[in-house]
Amino acid sequence: MDDPKAAGRKARFEAVYTASYEPILGYVLRRCTSPDDAADVVAEVFTVAWRRLDDVPAGDAARLWLYGVARRVLARHWEKEARRRKRTTTLHPELRDELAAAADEFVDTSAVAQAFAGLSESDRELLRLVAWEGLGHAEIAAVLGCSAGTVRVRLHRARKRLSRRLHSAGFDTAPITANGGR
Amino acid sequence: MTSRHTDRSTDELVRTLARVRDGDVAGYADRPAARALLADITATPPSAEPARPVRSGRRFPRIAVRLAAAGALAAAATAGVAVVATDDQGRPRGPVPAVGSASHASEILDDAVAAAAARPYTAPGPEQWLYTKVRMKGAAEPSGAVTAGPYETKSWELWRRIDGKHQYAAYKDGKLVEPPAGENAPRASRFDPLPTDPDALLRKIGAIPGQPDELAFGTLLTILAENLHPPQVEATIFRAMQRIPGVTATEGTVDAAGRPAITLGLTAKDGWVRQEVLLDPETYRYRGERSFTVGDRTIEGDDGDDIVIKSGTLQYEQVRTAAAIVDEPGERP
| Average pLDDT of the segment spanning A148-169 | 89
Q: Flag if B219 and A101 touch (Cβ within 8 Å).
A: yes
Instruction: Note down pLDDT in tens along chain B; length 333 residues.
Output: 433 334 557 888 888 888 788 877 888 888 777 888 888 888 877 754 443 333 332 223 333 333 333 333 223 222 222 223 334 444 443 334 556 777 889 989 999 999 999 999 999 998 898 998 888 887 766 545 566 667 888 888 888 888 876 656 677 777 776 654 334 445 677 788 899 999 999 988 878 888 878 878 888 998 898 889 999 999 999 999 999 999 999 888 887 777 889 999 998 766 778 889 999 999 999 999 988 888 887 766 555 667 777 888 888 888 999 999 999 888 889
CA angle at A171 for the pair A128 and B205, rounded to the nearest 5°? 55
A69 and A49 in contact (C-beta within 8 Å)? yes
**Which chain B residues have a beta carbon less than 8 Å from that of A159?**
5, 7, 10-11
Residues of chain A positioned with their CB less than 8 A from the CB of B204: 104
Measured distance CA(B200)–CA(B150) in Å, rounded: 41
Q: Is A108 on the interface with B (CB under 8 A)?
A: yes
Task: Give the 3-state secondary structure percentages of chain B, helix then strand then coil, rounded to 5.
Answer: 30, 25, 45
Per-residue pLDDT at A11 = 92
Contacts of A148 in chain B (CB under 8 A): none
Task: Compute the CA torsion angle A174, A180, B1, B3 (nearest 10 deg).
Answer: -30
pLDDT at B14: 87
Q: Is A74 on the interface with B (CB under 8 A)?
A: no
Judged by CB atoms closer than 8 Å, whether chains meet at B218 and A93 is answered as: yes
Contact A50 B214 (CB under 8 A): no
Contact criterion met (CB < 8 Å) for B33 and A103: no
Give the other-Cβ count within 10 Å of B94's Cβ: 9
Residue to test with chain B: of A17, A40, A64, A87, most B Cβ within 10 A: A87
Q: Report, in angstroms and rounded to the nearest whole number, the Rg of chain A calculated over CA atoms.
A: 18
**How is B268-300 classified by DSSP, letter by letter?**
-TTSSEEEEEEE-TTT--EEEEEEEESS-EEEE
Q: CA quadruple A148, A153, A156, A158: dihedral positive or negative?
A: negative
Instruction: Using CA coordinates, name the residue in chain B closest to A47.
Output: B41
Q: Of B325, B329, B296, B330, whose CA–CA distance to B120 is shortest?
A: B325
The chain B residue lying nearest A115, using CA atoms, is B14
High-pLDDT (> 70) share of chain A, %: 73
CB contact under 8 A, A100 and B219: yes
Q: Which of B62, B74, B221, B276 minimizes the C-alpha distance to A47?
A: B62
Name the helix (H) or strand (E) containing A121: helix A121-131
Instruction: Please report residues of A whose CB lies closer than 8 A to that of B219.
Output: 97, 100-101
Q: In chain B, what is the straight-line distance between the N-terminal and C-terminal CA atoms, in Å?
A: 50
For chain A, the average pLDDT equals: 78
Find chain A residues with C-beta within 8 A of B208's C-beta: 107
**pLDDT of A139 over the 90 cut:** yes
Distance CA A146, CA A134 (A): 18
| pLDDT tier, A146 (very low <50, low <70, confident <90, very high otherwise) | confident
Length of chain A: 182
Q: How far, in Å, CA of B11 to CA of A170, rounded?
A: 18
Which residues, including other chains, have CB under 8 Å from residue A18's CB and lie 6 or more apart?
Answer: B29
In a mutagenesis test of the B interface, which of A10, A32, A69, A92 is the best target, namely the one with the most B β-carbons within 10 Å? A92
Stretch A16-26: mean pLDDT: 93
CA gap A147, B190 in Å, rounded: 42
Identify from B17, B154, B213, B308 which residue to disrupt to test chain A contact, counting A C-beta atoms within 10 A and taking the largest count.
Answer: B17
Q: Give the residue-averaged pLDDT of A69-78.
A: 85
> Are the C-beta atoms of residues B222 and A97 closer than 8 Å to each other?
yes
Alpha helices in A32-60 (DSSP H): 35-51
Residues 6+ apart with CB under 8 A from A80: none
Instruction: Compare all CA atoms of chain A with the CA of B205 and give the residue at the minimum distance.
Output: A104
pTM comes to 0.52
A4-13, A51-60, B5-14, B42-51, range with the lowest pLDDT: B42-51
Nearest-neighbour CA in chain B from A60: distance (Å): 15
A155 to chain B: which residues are within 8 Å by CB?
5
Q: What is the pLDDT of residue B146?
A: 64
Position B118 scores a pLDDT of 92
Cβ-defined contact of B18 to A112 (cutoff 8 Å): no
Q: Long-range CB contacts (< 8 A, 24+ apart) of B178-183?
A: B180/B31, B180/B32, B180/B35, B180/B73, B180/B74, B181/B30, B181/B35, B182/B27, B182/B30, B182/B31, B183/B30, B183/B31, B183/B32, B183/B74, B183/B75, B183/B77
Q: Distance from first CA to last CA of chain A, Å, rounded?
A: 54
CB-CB neighbors (< 8 A) of A162 in chain B: 10, 13-14
The answer to whether the Cα torsion of B233, B239, B240, B246 is positive or negative is positive
Instruction: Please answer yes or no on whether A101 and B205 come within 8 Å at the CB atom.
Output: yes
Bridge partners (DSSP) listed for residue B300? B306
Q: According to the per-residue pLDDT averaged within each range, which of A31-35, A96-100, A143-147 is highest? A: A143-147
Q: Do B46 and A53 touch (CB under 8 A)?
A: yes
B contacts of A42 (beta carbons < 8 Å): 37, 67
φ/ψ of B156, rounded to 5, equals: -130, 140
